[in-house]
Structure 1
């Protein structure tokens, strides 16, 4: 994709075509997770708090799969940009096989260590009992979801964002239909309660996996031969991208664990509100998340072709869109905070604390979006270590220290929310400075590199 001569209007239209299917897909996928939590909130504070305790470990699995997905998109798009189609096919097959095995091993480990880990996060005996029934099917849902995600990454690497976006919508609709049936039951059939939400997700992702396998079978994007040789040849390059990317993606779960352990000191109601706020965060960042999926393959092809002028134009446009969209959305949602909290939470105490989180955090996601986009671009453009360090700085220099300051100086949910918002703003400013510094000398960065 070599588009340096395109007008700004043409570039914007192309970015829109690449991003909108993923935005709709991300909205539907994250929307059903938010609705999951809203349904569970109707079961009571205890089940919602139990689900909230599992979020950091669920994000751990997502971090590994996203890190591998970044490597898929980066290496395959670079190979395609350099005209190496056979290599792209071998890479696609390798990642599907290795990804499935890696996530399965991680899921087993998380099952075995669940009790001590959740105790460290602050879960009491009643929460542990709720989690015990939920965690098994949730891990299964995470594994099936990871397989689907790896398949989506192949489509994105080949420039097809429409099919993954459509599949996200479809699986979300299946999950939404199954949620009330499996959580609350119907007629003479009793509901499963909290585990019902996880089983609904398992079924939805399994249906998506079947359709994905059928579509992949019709595409000539995989290879059955030469995989061991490709593994020896590209294993280092894959680890060089996937390793830092996974470490960068694993930092948010670690940060989330630390944050949840702090929130747990404020009580079960605060944990429940924080869990709903986390779900709302991901939904509100749908455009940013869609761009982190649609933009890196495009940037990777520009990288493979040595087209740095196009890289700069794409990033400036994408960052402008992110800031305008997220700031506008955040301000509107902050104004509507009491009504949004009322829709998501049944408990008045949870509603009040969730409204505080919305008012402080949602506008700050404009800065967080800048940081997320810069980190994603860094992985696509051959700077995985710098992207990892940027992720570390966001969490451990900006976010967590500001969280501590907020609780120490202000206290309660207000201090927590204000500190988190300040951390997001500082991270966005830091990412913007780093991006401008690095992109001021792109030719020197590119000189002497190969695309592996």
Structure 2
């Protein structure tokens, strides 16, 4: 048993570390983006912060599509249906790219009423407008790149996506200061320069990924129409709830931004930096939500619930130990981290308060994220959707609003932390019930269960 556990840990590490490194580099350059923009002033940083909910909306749709296609391809491979896996890969690259393009166009056309609803005033809107066009282009290129990553992960290759994330991050970091601040007599592009740097970095990564895909046999042009008809229902059965689950965080982020906007421009700027830091600190959790579901889906396709339980137990232990240790360490270093990220003294002070209040609570938030991701791979997409809804709208936002009413920026830090803790507790309880029911069904049947 000890040897088996050791082997499982080694496999989980081998599957996760490339994605963790890639996620760290990808989210790290986004944090550095914000740090560079902070040097332009509080207004440009606030303008970028107002766009985060809309960017998260696009990411939510692309992640929902990626979850569904990775699950279906992994299940097809687990069942020995390699030809179907190739057709599914082609469908997601084509259909997903078109869907995200349509969403980006809509967000460009309706940008003014959207950002006004989020609390942006007439002084901030022109800054947002200059940034939003190239940022939407970067989001579309990044989404197509992400679909390629999902295809590789579904086939069990996490190394290439991890390497590509590092590559695109390094390119972005090199271009950021040049395009934002300029060089020599050229003054640079200012705030839009950050978006153009990201666009060029993602475009380079997409070119490399397309070259690599040409060397595989994971795509097919044969039978796509018939496959689309056959797979639409199971795809939407996963993608629909998964996209709704992924769209809830952007919606919650919009509402959270509106709550924070009542506290002033400085609070919005600090909240935007804290949001970037949140995603970086959750790198291990995000890596597990990418590397673990295809593995769980293969076990699901073969009806191996014992292995599923072992994988989930191990992953949850990793999440709690890592996030709690990292959260406490970053909370202790909050003043120094805030000084590195923010130039304005008021923003630095409020950011330090947010770091101390929020970061340790991500241990339980990570549990919730892991359970939601695993539920989509295990045939429980509706449960994942409900869990996401409860986390954001029954736990997080009410506590955030109460905190803002009670004590300003310190209040929202404490309120958000309590909301994260409640979400983790609820998710853990839901997972225990679900896996217990699956175990009872497994014992009463000799056939693989819960297949689509």
Output the TM-score relative to the length of structure 1: 0.98
Q: 1:429 maps to which residue?
A: 425
Secondary structure of 2:262's partner? helix
Q: Which of 437, 442, 445 does residue 438 from structure 2 map onto?
A: 442
CA distance in 2, matches of 1:41, 1:286: 23
Asked if the contact 2:319/2:366 (under 8 Å) is kept, the reply is: yes
Q: 1:386 maps to which residue?
A: 383
Secondary structure of 1:189's partner? coil
Give the drift of 1:441.
Answer: 2.1
CA distance in 2, matches of 1:49, 1:407: 18
CA distance in 2, matches of 1:440, 1:450: 14
Give the drift of 1:391.
Answer: 0.3
Q: Which of 253, 263, 275 does residue 278 from structure 1 map onto?
A: 275
Structure 1 runs of 4+ with >6 Å offset: none
CA distance in 2, matches of 1:310, 1:254: 35
Q: Which of 323, 326, 339 does residue 323 from structure 2 map onto?
A: 326
Alignment of 1:370-409 (within 5 A): 370-408=367-405
Q: 2:204 maps to which residue?
A: 207
Give the drift of 1:362.
Answer: 0.2
Alignment of 1:23-38 (within 5 A): 23-38=20-35
Two-structure CA RMSD over aligned residues (Å):
1.2
Alignment of 1:41-440 (within 5 A): 41-408=38-405, 410-440=406-436
Give the drift of 1:128.
Answer: 0.2
CA distance in 1, matches of 2:125, 2:66: 32
Secondary structure of 1:126's partner? coil
1:15 and 2:46 are equivalent in the alignment: no
Asked if the contact 2:87/2:227 (under 8 Å) is kept, the reply is: yes
CA distance in 2, matches of 1:280, 1:183: 21
Output the TM-score relative to the length of structure 2: 0.98
**Are residues 5 and 339 of structure 1, via their aligned partners in 2, closer, same or farther at CA, if it must alter by over 3 Å?**
closer
Q: Deviations over 1:59-92 (max 9, x none)?
A: 0000000000001110000111111111100000
CA distance in 1, matches of 2:383, 2:450: 18
**Are residues 311 and 189 of structure 1, via their aligned partners in 2, closer, same or farther at CA, if it must alter by over 3 Å?**
same
CA distance in 2, matches of 1:356, 1:59: 24
CA distance in 1, matches of 2:440, 2:39: 57
CA distance in 2, matches of 1:445, 1:285: 34
Q: Deviations over 1:391-450 (max 9, x none)?
A: 000001100111122123x32100011000000000000001011111012145676756
Secondary structure of 1:245's partner? helix
CA distance in 2, matches of 1:146, 1:7: 38
Asked if the contact 1:338/1:351 (under 8 Å) is kept, the reply is: yes
Secondary structure of 1:186's partner? coil
CA distance in 2, matches of 1:71, 1:169: 25
CA distance in 2, matches of 1:445, 1:32: 46
